[in-house]
Homo-oligomer: A and B are copies of this chain.
Amino acid sequence: MVTRKRFDDSDCPVARSVDAIGDWWSLLIVRDAFDGSRRFGEFQRSLGVAKNILSARLRALVAGGVLESVPASDGSAYREYVLTPKGKALFPVIVALRQWGEQHFYAPGEPHSRLVDSRKEQPLRMLEVRSADGRPLDPDDTTVHKVTTP
């Protein structure tokens, strides 16, 4: 049988991450979770994804420890999906993808959504990435760095 190649046993952390996330849908679900979505219907409306696909992805993300299924906070009979610490740790990935998209796929001044948390409505805060020794980064530097959020 010809199975799809897996990367969960690769010796590369990037490959293992890729394998654990699963597919793009999952990443967009995580994005929506950071953006405040918690309910099945919220994800579904936001993503425009088929319900069976969403269902399968949510299940996989819960199984992978990225999301956690908890009782609805409003007392209804349904479940809500919230990010686990492991899921929250994907924040830099989402931010990095967002940055790349903003830099390369938008005309200057073209508006785009999801710049702030839709729930808290907090303004954008600027972060800087700099080396620990204070030297600025060479944009052409392709060395593999280790990024930590202190």
- Within A100-146, the residues touching B (CB, 8 Å) are 100-106, 111-117, 120, 122, 124-133, 136-137, 139-140, 142-146
Interface size class of A (residues with CB under 8 A): 35 or more
Which residues of chain B are near A27, meaning CB under 8 Å? 14, 18
A92 CB-CB contact with B under 8 Å: yes
A90 CB-CB contact with B under 8 Å: yes
Identify the A interface with B (CB < 8 A): 5, 7-8, 11-20, 23-24, 27-28, 31, 34-36, 48-49, 65, 83, 85-86, 88-106, 111-117, 120, 122, 124-133, 136-137, 139-140, 142-150
Cβ contact within 8 Å between A91 and B127? no
Q: How far is the CB of A85 from chain B (nearest CB, A)?
A: 8
Which residues of chain B are near A98, meaning CB under 8 Å? 13-14, 17, 144
Which residues of chain B are near A132, meaning CB under 8 Å? 125-128
| CA–CA, A19 and B101, complex, Å | 10
Cβ contact within 8 Å between B99 and A96? no
| CA–CA, A20 and B104, complex, Å | 10
| CA–CA, A36 and B128, complex, Å | 26
